[in-house]
A and B are shown apart, each in its own frame.
Chain A
């Protein structure tokens, strides 16, 4: 028993050691965009709380909640907005173009706005990519994750996206990168085209529109994202 206490003391001391402060740069990077972020409408919270049992797990819930929080957006429907098609960015900013068709309240084409408040690609050391975009009018929040092996045939479905766009919402995660979809709920594929200065991702998916908190008519998503290397 005493041995257990001693071991627990060692564990406790080890757990308590380590960094106690976030960097000032991180604090500012995290809190600066908040005033521009939209708060979730309470009716939507209620709807999503009511529908939680259909979600695949706590991870999915966390993802849902997250992006929804991300704020105002910049993607503009109908071709208004940023560059007509994504390509290597001279300003090293990521770009995207997305067409939503087949159903839901926001059928149309959306493009990134260079003035977006958050427009960031990160390439993790394990090879995965993440793209977060928050900006503009009407409000749109986008969170895209590309699996580390997406360039291989085995990993071509390793893509997850969550998108809130006024007044719509959908998400897909068929490969369970973030907590996942229920089996068969969505299909998605990604092709990866590396370039000398940027990497381009072409993503196609079919997933239920979920604008009212319940899976509805399937929407077709065709999206191209270009991230600076």
Chain B
């Protein structure tokens, strides 16, 4: 069904493209927001991706690849937004280093979220994209590599590095309950 819509849209049928886009725009926005962590930038990236998709759809050879292709356009738009934002304003410079994060927490959940937000912001857009594709879309490494346009090993190392950093943040912010118990106090 979607293949037929894709084929019609590729022939210039704007109604078919509208139907395809409306069916996917929430998901696209969800991905972009999670990568960029900014409402405005996310909307910009989604708009960019969809307009590009409409423009270049006649060049898509396999309609069955439409979703993967659209995700790829979105990820590129997110890279662009992320790099532009980083150049325009040194956001990362105000993000505390991992070593500066608090070592204990009075509210586990709240501190986890806050620390995760900061740790995530300190990752590059490329690393954030891999985390979101894996944990939000549920894509495997092969699919991530195809969407992002990098070798499997690169996708794996990006995910590994990103998760390592996020795990260390979580561990650094958790109350030392286990250590206290083992100390025999």
Determine if B161 is an interface residue (Cβ-Cβ < 8 Å): no
Q: Binary interface profile of B, 61-90, with partner A (CB < 8 Å = 1, else 0)? A: 000000000000100110110011101110
Q: Nearest-CB distance from B30 to chain A (Å)?
A: 5
Q: Nearest-CB distance from A28 to chain B (Å)?
A: 10
Instruction: Given A15-B34, A15-B132, A35-B14, verify A178-B83 contact (CB < 8 Å).
Output: yes
Q: Nearest-CB distance from B62 to chain A (Å)?
A: 15
Determine if A8 is an interface residue (Cβ-Cβ < 8 Å): yes
| Residues of B with C-beta under 8 A to A34 | 14, 17-18, 21, 50-51, 54
Instruction: Given A7-B166, A18-B34, verify A176-B87 contact (CB < 8 Å).
Output: yes
Determine if A202 is an interface residue (Cβ-Cβ < 8 Å): no
- A37-B135 in contact (CB<8A): no
> In the complex the two chains form, what is the Cα distance from A45 to B46 in whole Å?
21
- B171-A7 in contact (CB<8A): yes
- A22-B26 in contact (CB<8A): yes
| Residues of A with C-beta under 8 A to B51 | 30, 33-34, 37, 66, 69-71
- B167-A4 in contact (CB<8A): yes
Q: Nearest-CB distance from A8 to chain B (Å)?
A: 7
Q: Nearest-CB distance from A148 to chain B (Å)?
A: 5
Chain A residue at smallest Cβ distance from B74: A62
| Residues of A with C-beta under 8 A to B25 | 22, 27, 30-31
Q: Binary interface profile of B, 105-141, with partner A (CB < 8 Å = 1, else 0)? A: 0000000110010000000000000011001100000
| Residues of A with C-beta under 8 A to B46 | 22, 26, 30
Determine if A11 is an interface residue (Cβ-Cβ < 8 Å): yes
Chain A contact surface mostly? helix
Q: Give the interface size bracket for A toward B.
A: 35 or more
Determine if B103 is an interface residue (Cβ-Cβ < 8 Å): no
Q: Binary interface profile of B, 27-60, with partner A (CB < 8 Å = 1, else 0)? A: 0111001100001100100111011111111110
Determine if A151 is an interface residue (Cβ-Cβ < 8 Å): no
Chain B residue at smallest Cβ distance from A147: B88
Determine if B5 is an interface residue (Cβ-Cβ < 8 Å): no
> In the complex the two chains form, what is the Cα distance from A179 to B43 in whole Å?
20
Determine if B12 is an interface residue (Cβ-Cβ < 8 Å): yes
Determine if B185 is an interface residue (Cβ-Cβ < 8 Å): no
Q: Nearest-CB distance from A55 to chain B (Å)?
A: 12
Query: A40's contact among B29, B55, B77, by CB below 8 Å, is which?
Result: B55
Pairs A-B, 6 closest by C-beta atoms: A69-B55, A62-B76, A45-B59, A22-B29, A126-B89, A35-B14
Q: List 20 A-B contacts (CB under 8 A).
A: A7-B166, A7-B167, A11-B163, A12-B135, A16-B135, A19-B39, A22-B29, A30-B25, A30-B46, A30-B47, A34-B21, A39-B57, A62-B76, A66-B55, A69-B51, A127-B89, A176-B87, A177-B84, A177-B88, A178-B84
